[in-house]
Amino acid sequence: MNTLLTMLSTAVLLPPLTAEESAAAAAKLGELSGLRVYPGSLAASGGAVFFLGRTEERKLLGILSKEGHGGATAFVGEERAFRENGEKYQLKVSPLDHVNAAALRRALPYTGPVPLGLQKSVGFGDRLGLATPGHVRAVRGTGLAPIFAQQSIREMARTGRTPEQVLDDATWGVFQEGWRQGFGADADHLKTTSDIDRCAPVGFTMFTIDPGDHVDNDANADATGILKGKMDDLPWADLESSPEMTRAAYLGKTFDLGDGFSISFSDEDLLRAAAKYGKAVAHTVNLYQHLAGRMGDRPFELEISVDETETPTSVHEHFFVASELKRLGVRWASLAPRYVGRFEKGVDYIGDLAWFERDFVWHVAVARHLGPYKLGIHSGSDKFSIYPIVARHAGNLVHLKTAGTSYLEALRVIASIDSALFRQVLAFSLERYEQDKASYHVSADLSKVPAPDQLADPELAGVLDRFDGRQLLHVTFGSVLTAKGSDGRYLFRDRLVSALAGDEESYYAALEAHLGRHVGFFIG
């Protein structure tokens, strides 16, 4: 109790306890609350001790304070008073809901997101809302700045999650693990002002604008005459320019990018860049201005993503997009071009590595010259063959974005602890793949994925080591997580969550190992 008394006497955030102190305090709090307390969660601020504990069925927030102290008034839960050594105390036990998550972010600011700036960073998607403790363990001690709350509007729709749930789940995971080094929250692949309106009030600190629907992929191969017509038809009022002004800005000049790199535009280079990306630039500016208006004085950072388009972004196109956005007052922390080769979901890079490297160094040169800003590596999960190239040339100017691989690791754990459930998910995914793959760049051949009844239990996890099996299970996540039976109950979601929660350490260990392999390439 002596440690707890010390914690209760502090008005400001107390530094983390030693492992021995945490264990002793957690044991006492467990005795008082009846919960199994996570020692890493213990924190003291404002005369109250905060901790996370669990019963067999669920996790709960605990708040200990002296009687009459107002440290827990912002939280909703059940409160009881008790005496200890003649002193009066109160203990509130609260559910992990949105009201209490928001109150925790106010009481313990480290449980809320912050902008990360130009720190080398990695984003962790979490489709089940359970992965953050494993993500913390994967990044701890690496020096990389993490984004623990990251989900696209498309994924939110497919999983049935809200922006509030995405941020809250990250908050509880950060709290559980005692992560105090800061993290970001990325509202990913926003395409419209309504997308922004859903996410801006919630507390996200990073917003990824995706103007891909406004990229003219045909301009990659159009004849010169067609390109001229497309350039003339751009929304020049929104771009605050004209064809003549644009030609004067780019033609007949050599732009020195430093380190021996320079770039100049031919008339065709400019026509193609403007025709292909001009409308995307205008759309990005409009969304950025809308976002800035919604955020007001709250700090935020921007990522621009054109990675989910059909044709690669050339160095001239990258230079044009960044130059125009800069001219129009947009400020961003990272930009994700469409790189050469194929960045398919859940599998390694497909393409010529030497070609990728020759192209990538030019993108780095543009990012250093016109920023500096980070280069986003989207669909970045499991691209192990390119990580050394990216780390070698980009240095700190890199943001690696992962998402579905954490869901795949969840299924790997399920294969080992509930083989029947894994078989059902695999069978259902085989039925859904052809429809679900429509919005993804994937090339899985279902004939190469064994049927569930062809596999013995020890062979089930091996599906996740196959190219075609990984993509199958990766892109069908939304259908799996939202499928309901005739009784209106989820077919798989609740069973997956329950199984993983019941063996959470196995899931965290799998995430730490797999994602630790990812970030290991970028340490130093």
Q: Which CATH number goes with the domain that contains 142?
A: 3.20.20.70
- 521 located within any domain: no
Interatomic CA distance for residues 272 and 252, integer angstroms: 16
**Does 60 reside within a domain?**
yes
> What would the pLDDT profile of 333-392 be if each residue is shown by its tens digit?
999 999 999 999 999 999 999 999 999 999 999 999 999 999 999 999 999 999 999 999
Residues 216, 189, single domain; the answer is yes
pLDDT score, position 274? 98
Assess whether 124 and 246 both reside in one domain.
yes
Q: Which of 109, 139, 157 is the last residue of a domain?
A: 109
509 found inside a domain: no
Q: For residue 2, what pLDDT is reported?
A: 81
In a domain, 24, yes or no: yes
What is the reported pLDDT for 191? 98
Is 156 in the same domain as 225?
Answer: yes
pLDDT for res 352: 98
Strands 261-264 and 254-258: antiparallel
- Regarding whether 14 and 147 lie in a shared domain, the answer is no
DSSP string, 85-118: TTEEEEEEEEES-HHHHHHHHHHSGGGS----TT
275 and 364 assigned to the same domain: yes
Question: For residue 401, what are the β-bridge partners?
Answer: 123
* pLDDT at residue 155, rounded to an integer: 94
Q: What is the pLDDT of residue 11?
A: 87
What confidence score (pLDDT) does residue 70 get?
77
Give the catalytic positions in this structure.
188, 303
- Identify whether residues 315 and 383 lie together within a single domain: yes
> How much is the pLDDT for 115?
98
Domain identity same for 75 and 207? no
Asked if residue 148 lies in contact with residue 174, where contact means CB atoms within 8 angstroms, the answer is yes
Q: Are residues 128 and 74 in the same domain?
A: no
Same domain membership, residue 320 and residue 420: no
In a domain, 515, yes or no: no
Residue finishing a domain among 84, 109, 134:
109
pLDDT reported for residue 10: 87
Q: Give the domain extent around 238.
A: 118-405
Instruction: Count up the domains in the chain and report the number.
Output: 3
Domain boundary among 348, 372, 405: 405
Q: What is the pLDDT of residue 390?
A: 98
Task: Give 33-68 pLDDT, tens digit per residue.
Answer: 999 999 999 999 999 999 999 999 999 999 999 987
139 and 196 fall within a common domain:
yes
pLDDT at 85: 83
Name residues of the chain where pLDDT drops below 50. none
pLDDT of residue 485: 96
Alpha-carbon distance of 274 to 225, in angstroms, equals: 14
Full-model pTM = 0.97
- DSSP-derived pairing of the beta strands 184-190 and 145-152: parallel
Task: Please check whether residue 129 lies inside any domain of the structure.
Answer: yes
Based on the domain organization, do 258 and 312 belong to the same domain?
A: yes
Are 157 and 80 in the same domain?
no
